[in-house]
Structure 1
Amino acid sequence: MFRFVLEGKDKESKARFGYFETIHGRVETPIFMPVGTVGSVKTVTPDELKDIGAQIILGNTYHLHLRPGDDVVKYFGGLHKFINWDRPILTDSGGFQVFSLSELKDINEEGVTFRSHLDGRKIFLTPEKSIEIQSNLGSDIMMVLDECVPYPCEKDYVKKSIELTRKWAIRCKNAKINSWQALFGIVQGGVYKELRRVSAEQIVEIGFDGYAIGGLSVGEENILMYDITDFTTDFLPENRPRYLMGVGTPEDILECVERGIDMFDCVMPTRNARNGLLFTSYGKLHIKRQEWKLSDKPIDPNCNCYTCRNFSRGYLRHLYKAGEILALRLNTIHNLHFYISLVKEIRNAIKSGCFKKFKREKLEMFKIGGDNV
């Protein structure tokens, strides 16, 4: 069964720390969840994820339903056994991928009809179907099906959309099968504060194990995302975890922890690693740059990940320029280690009562730029 414990709060901000428990273990918050879209965090093994310190990973309902099929995953005993991961898993509802990947889609109160990006076949996704798929996957935390509106979006459409999200959330809750699987509600409302308040109050009234803020980091300016996040968390219960979906940069995580967020996920560390952009305690570093050809420095002198302990920038640049798969793996190990270490440091700073000072110093260091160190 799912249980969340809020252990403490920062005196100068809305930052907080705690933990939640699932049948696959405990997760300390604030937490960053590596994204394992199709049942794997790209280029790294489950054991490497554990070595990095990952406590929970994310799987994607849409992609796993299309391939290999949630019925296949169920046959193998659920996603944990299928991918050999014995720690918690969160699955999204599939809604975001429907709205972002499918050019042709038809949304109505019953559900959404769309065409697969793999073979073009028509698929009808309802709230009940999303819960059925996630039940077959056997994730520890399921997400309700919602409509993620684009940015910008007309207020009248967003107003209708949050009502659809409310109705779908009720149907998801009623369709829930396994008592041990947690179900999180999702607050929508675009960048309109009054609609965010209405959506938050509606979703909280339905009652869920945790609450997510969706529909941000979709093109709006960062300052607007921070403002809407700060506003929305005021309407979410303190005794439930708060999840900001699809966010974000190290700066975003620091800013949004300050605004009361507990959980984050994003493809940024893994995707950027595969494109040669690395995160360091001094900001971003581009490993493909010519200046690293003869550099014997590690990526980050303050990092103790496997990559930084064993390899130079010169070697990592060589691997990347040569198109070696090892480059992608070593870069990913570093970036994930950086993100997971960052949230661990954030937790400790909140516990120690020095979060604001920690945040200020981190942001100043990021401005230096990893390429300048």
Structure 2
Amino acid sequence: MKFLHTADWQIGMKAVHVGASAGRVRDERLAAARRAVDAARRAEVDFILVAGDTFENNGVDRVLIQKVVDILNDFRGPVYMIPGNHDHLGPGSVWEHPAWKTAGQVVVLREAASIEVPGGTLYPCPIRDRYSRKDPTEWIEKRETDSIRIGLAHGTLLGIESADSDHPVDRNAPVRSGLDYLALGHWHSLSTYRFDDAVRMAYSGTHEPTGFGERDSGSVLIVEIESRGAAPVITPVRTGGLRWLTLRETLRQPGDLRRVREIIEQVEDPPAVLLEVSLDGMIDIRERDELDRIREILASRFLFGRMDHTGVRLFPEDESWIETLPSGVLREVAMRLKALSDPARHEGRPEGATPETASLALLELYALLAESSHDSSIADR
């Protein structure tokens, strides 16, 4: 048995969080769906599994439904789909569109009942409600059989670090239900789970990234199982067209901002990249032009670019700020660091306390004080 496992296409996603780039992001989700079908044909799989959330919601433009049906029909083999929590079954759902009635070998599985598929048995777990605290896989009973058993479900694994416990799936579901493989949807990052010596459960992740912070998204999984009980051989295939990158940097000394700009300039294929830059720390007042240059690069070269520098503070122009500190420990520490930062001073210098180290420590102290007062913020300048 050989099949392609995919999920969470989220067709119809508005992508308003990326402004004018939203149209390209939406189009790329359909393009990635075509690449997924192409991957299935190249791998000569027996069928395709779609583990829910094919659509962003049940109110998407009905034209998109027909487009998805046409894309899946291009596989020219069996495609088995379940509704997820975003596109759950119900009155007025996307699954009532007439396109599904003429969808050929594309099958929407609406009941929790086993069906025979090429090479084995499939146990679908369609979602009927937007929210639920019921395990969608609990109906699958363990059985002694020579047939390969595959589960198809959508939900959140119990016991995994996540605030989301919607449609909770028992982490031991493959063993509990005697499944050779459980194909999951809902989480957008590719994740695999081992039982003894074999991966028997996986999230394929979304075929095209949906936002910043996703890990290993933008792929589908080719899964091959030789026989009942054999370890699945799982091969990720890249289908994503866009990259969502996050760059977080703390600026500690003059020149760090230039280094950040150089990192951004070296990003490959920027027209296909959405980049979020987050900066904090300290910069010299003469480096403010570098901030403007980074803004220009993000706006002109990248599909989408955004920079948050609200945590950035200006280096002091001199050390007169020390005199403004009230008497006490902080002022004493600042005065001591100022003295140690003088290269000409040798008397009373602790071992390892170089002038450079003392200067950096003094700037760190200034940064902490500036952070607490917000008096040196350049966010709105």
TM range (shorter): 0.3 to 0.5
Q: Provide TM-score, normalisation by structure 2.
A: 0.38
Larger radius of gyration: 2
Q: Provide TM-score, normalisation by structure 1.
A: 0.38
User: Of Structure 1 and Structure 2, which has the larger fraction of its residues in helix?
Assistant: 1
User: Of Structure 1 and Structure 2, which has the larger fraction of its residues in strand?
Assistant: 2
